[in-house]
Amino acid sequence: MKLKKLIVTLLLLPVFVFAKANLYVFVFKDGNALQDTKIQMGEMVATTNQYGYAQFKDVKSDTYEISYIKDEQLFALEEVNIVDDQDSQIFLNLINDTPKVELDLPLEAYSQDFQKVKVKKLEGPKGILELKLIDSKSKALVKKAKLFFKGYQLEASSDENGIVKVDIPEGVYDISIVHPNYVMKVLTEIKVVKEKTTAQDVALTKSDIALEEYVVLAPAVEGSLAATFAKLKESDTIGNIMGAEQFSKSGDSSAASALQRVSGVTLVDDKYVYIRGLGERYSTVLLNGLNVPSPNPLKRVVPLDIFPTSILENLIVQKTYSSNLPGNFGGGAVTINTKGIPKEDNYVSGTLGFTYNSSTGKEGYVGSQNNKGLPNEIVQLTDGFKSFGNSDLFSETDKKEYAKDLATYRSFNVEKKTIEPGKSVSVSTGQSFKTSSGLKYGFAGNIYYKTSADIEEYTERDYKTSPDGSLTIGGNVGDFSNTKLSEKYGGLVSFGVDNTEGQSIKFTTLLLNQTNDSTTFGLVKETGSNTRVVKRTDLRYSEQEMQLYQLTGENTLFFGKTTDKVFDDVVINWGLEKAIANNNEPGNVQYEYHYYGDVEQNPPYDDTLFKLYTDKPVSYVQTELEDTMTDGKVSLKLPFEYSDQNNFFEIG
């Protein structure tokens, strides 16, 4: 394909009778009249006819931006000053002269030049200009061709014999000859002498002879169904690809919900992916080709409900290994590609949701201060896995003070609380920009907040295995209630810059914060050698946070014709990533209360007869984990042509 240069000539023509001005626009591509081309002047739009000609009539005196509309996209050309009683002409000519541009972005790489020509009046002694228009190959006469005289409000047409005869003042003229089926011919410095006839034969070349062969490419739309099928056809592995267009049609709100419709993929807890039945440790999640750490540093699993579909270009599920995947591939990979520059010029969308389940409206046991951490002095004493409980470094008085601090730093009581519906709110926005020089840039982002609550009730029993292999029920039976409260918020934003020469760069940042508050309360009856009734309480709180920063890009190096179709264009795909994941459990607590009444009676039991069981120490657990990951990639795609087929090598 050919890069095109835009040449725009502005001609100012005198008019003596109009109160308002007219604007005439002529559009050519490779010298051929371009029909059905939309030209916009301010708020007015006109379409070119078969001669590439469009007209704006009775235009008020003002400064207007003249624009060219291609594929429903508007490209600014230049501002033109329209003056009353003075008509203007614009010649818009697209000329092939340098290699390779995609035709779906016709004006992005064009240099632009508005040349103003001094107005001339048609006055003085006249002569006759006679032109005979013939086909350069068949020598047939060319009729119904249009002639335009640069700098003058004058036009003429060839008759049935291909003859154009014009009576005009003597002088030197530049003439453009236009015909729908022929390449535009420009005659320069044609001299007309007074009272004489200037005759000349002009050969016109047919369009189908003059135009070079090239391939017209359709616009590449991120996430479109066509782009998705193209990727699937090019893939040499077993997998599935889903694009933004499919997300929109199916109403998927997150990557997790979209993957539910992919065969061979199972979601656990509506967010963790299992591919072909393999567990979470065998599944790899990539964001723009780079690894994503788990918000829980103890696991590899990545929750996919944190990726909203509003900013995703596509999802690629790969069920077999390929060389472009990282070495930790264990059986399946999900690659999430974000949008760099959204297709839409600008958009804002939002969702508000409420979630109800079987626990909504019920009462569950909740610890009122589960998020309160252990006293700092206690944490510092145990730093480095040191123990002070049996240490001789502390006096008995100090130990009692520390024990008092542990017993009083928070409330350990549980209280009943009505479970409310889950709430969620999400806002997505994006904006794309395009300059007349062809540079495109934009961003797409999403922020969200979500809460959920649930109660899980279950019974625990002890079972014993007899020597003969039979299973008998043991003596311990416990009824438990586990209340889970979850809150999370986060966001994902991508910024992209792209031009028409194969150079693009994208910055992506992701933030996730999730808290889980869990209270488990149960009543257990132990009927062993000593029958006991025990209240067991387990209070847990965790906060997980992940920050991720990515810089990725694709750069094309053009070597032109010097390589003789071997490695003409080298594509470099690269990426850098820094990610930090934290897991903080400020103070998980487990304790038991034993019943000191008649344990043989049936419940309910008298709460005043339960006392803290001191023979079994209260368990305090404080955890701080941080996982820092640095990742990077670089690959080179080297195309070449062999046996008239396009091939490539890729290394990375």
- CATH, residue 72: 2.60.40.10
- What CATH number is given to the structural domain containing 314? 2.170.130.10
pLDDT by residue (tens digit) across 160-179?
A: 889 999 988 888 888 888 88
Classify residue 30: in a domain, yes or no: yes
Contact 33, 179 (CB under 8 A): yes
8 phi and psi angles, rounded to 5 deg: -120, 125
pLDDT at 43 over 80: no
Classify residue 369: in a domain, yes or no: no
Q: What percent of the chain has pLDDT over 70?
A: 77
pLDDT by residue (tens digit) across 440-499?
A: 888 888 899 999 999 999 898 887 777 777 777 777 888 999 999 999 898 889 998 888
Q: What is the pLDDT of residue 234?
A: 60
9 & 29 share domain: yes
> Could you tell me which of 46, 63, 58 has the C-alpha nearest to residue 10?
63
Chain CA centroid to CA 651, Å:
26
437 & 384 share domain: no
273 & 387 share domain: no
Strand partners, 59: 21
494 & 569 share domain: yes
Classify residue 343: in a domain, yes or no: no
- Domain end: 338, 361, 391, which one? 338
Q: What is the pLDDT of residue 87?
A: 64
85 & 111 share domain: yes
- How far apart are the C-alpha atoms of 496 and 551, rounded to whole Å? 10
272 & 322 share domain: yes
| Total domain count, the chain | 5
Tell me which residue has tokens 């690809």.
241
Classify residue 261: in a domain, yes or no: yes
- What 3-state class would DSSP assign to 286? strand
Query: Which DSSP symbol is given to 477?
Result: E
The tokens for 191 are 């001299």
pLDDT at 410 over 70: yes
276 & 132 share domain: no
- Domain end: 185, 210, 235, which one? 210
Q: What is the pLDDT of residue 627?
A: 84
Strand partners, 639: 648
Classify residue 455: in a domain, yes or no: yes
- Domain end: 176, 210, 244, which one? 210
Tell me which residue has tokens 């145990």.
382
436 & 573 share domain: yes
Residue-range definition of the domain harbouring residue 484: 414-651
78 & 140 share domain: no
Strand partners, 531: 527
Classify residue 490: in a domain, yes or no: yes
- What CATH number is given to the structural domain containing 190? 2.60.40.1120
Classify residue 263: in a domain, yes or no: yes
204 & 326 share domain: no
Q: What is the pLDDT of residue 133?
A: 92
pLDDT at 71 over 80: no
- How far apart are the C-alpha atoms of 202 and 175, rounded to whole Å? 12
- How far apart are the C-alpha atoms of 571 and 577, rounded to whole Å? 20
Classify residue 364: in a domain, yes or no: no
111 & 240 share domain: no
390 & 425 share domain: no
- Other Cβ atoms less than 10 A from the Cβ of 469: the count is 6
- How far apart are the C-alpha atoms of 241 and 220, rounded to whole Å? 16
